[in-house]
Amino acid sequence: MSRLFDANYSCIDRLHPSDLVKTATYTWRHLLHPCSYNQAIACTTQLKRQPALMCVTLFLSNYNKRTNFLDDLTGFLDRQECILEAERLSTRARYNNSTLCALWISLNRFREVNTSFGHQAGDEVLARLAQRLAEQVSPAHPIARIGADEFLVLLPDIPLATAMALANRIHSALREPLLVGRVTWRQSCSIGLAKLGNEPGIGLLERADQAMQEAKQSQGALLTATAIGTDRDSQATTLKREELSIEEMLHEAMENGGFSLQYQPVIDVISSQVVACEALMRCRVRGENLTPDQFIPVAEKTGMIIELGDWTLLTAARTAERLLAAGHPTRLAVNVSRAQLTAPKFQQTLHALLTVSNLPPSLLELELTESLFMDASPAVRCNLDAAVEAGLSLAIDDFGTGYSCLAYLKDIPANKLKLDRTFVKHLPEDRKSLAIVRAITRLAQDLGMTVVAEGVETTQQRDILMNAGVNALQGYLFSRPLPETRLEAWLSSFEGG
**Predicted pLDDT of residue 120:** 82
Residues contacting residue 429 through CB under 8 Å, at least 6 positions apart: none
What is the pLDDT confidence band of residue 496, given thresholds at 50, 70 and 90?
A: low
**Predicted pLDDT of residue 405:** 60
**Tens of pLDDT, residues 299-357:** 887 778 888 998 999 999 999 999 999 999 999 999 998 888 887 788 888 888 888 77
Higher-scoring residue by pLDDT: 402, 446: 446
**Predicted pLDDT of residue 305:** 87
User: How far is it, in rounded angstroms, from Cα 482 to Cα 330?
Assistant: 14
Highest average pLDDT, of 234-248, 368-382, 423-437, 467-481, comes from: 467-481
Is the confidence at residue 282, as pLDDT, over 90? yes
Higher-scoring residue by pLDDT: 211, 365: 365
Burial of 149 (0-12, 13-18, 19+ CB in 10 A): buried
Question: Which of the following CATH numbers is that of domain 70-229: 3.40.640.10, 3.30.70.270, 3.40.50.300, 3.40.630.90?
Answer: 3.30.70.270
% pLDDT > 70, the chain = 78
User: How far is it, in rounded angstroms, from Cα 47 to Cα 363?
Assistant: 58
Residue range(s) in the chain whose domain bears CATH number 3.30.70.270:
70-229
**Tens of pLDDT, residues 142-199:** 999 988 899 999 999 998 888 888 988 898 898 888 887 777 787 888 888 998 888 8
Nearest to 326 by CA among 492, 494, 481, 493: 492
What is the pLDDT confidence band of residue 228, given thresholds at 50, 70 and 90?
A: very low
Higher-scoring residue by pLDDT: 467, 301: 467
Q: Give the residue-averaged pLDDT of 74-103.
A: 90
Q: What is the mean pLDDT of the chain?
A: 79
**Predicted pLDDT of residue 30:** 42
**Tens of pLDDT, residues 341-381:** 887 788 888 888 888 778 899 999 999 887 676 665 677 88
Give the H or E element holding residue 480: none
- Classify domain 249-496 by CATH number: 3.20.20.450
Neighbours of 195 (CB within 10 A): 21
Nearest to 340 by CA among 369, 318, 360: 369
Is the confidence at residue 28, as pLDDT, over 60? no
What is the pLDDT confidence band of residue 406, given thresholds at 50, 70 and 90?
A: low
**Predicted pLDDT of residue 339:** 82
Residue range(s) in the chain whose domain bears CATH number 3.20.20.450:
249-496
**Tens of pLDDT, residues 60-69:** 444 444 445 7
CA–centroid distance for 324 within its chain: 32
Is the confidence at residue 430, as pLDDT, over 70? yes
Is the confidence at residue 265, as pLDDT, over 70? yes
Give yes or no for a contact between 103 and 166, defined as CB atoms under 8 angstroms apart: yes
Is the confidence at residue 119, as pLDDT, over 90? no
Query: Cis bond leading into 428, ω under 30°?
Result: yes
Least confident of 13-22, 83-92, 106-115, 312-321: 13-22
Nearest to 459 by CA among 263, 269, 271: 269
Least confident of 258-272, 379-393, 402-416: 402-416
Higher-scoring residue by pLDDT: 454, 67: 454
Q: Give the residue-averaged pLDDT of 44-71.
A: 48
Nearest to 100 by CA among 158, 165, 139: 158
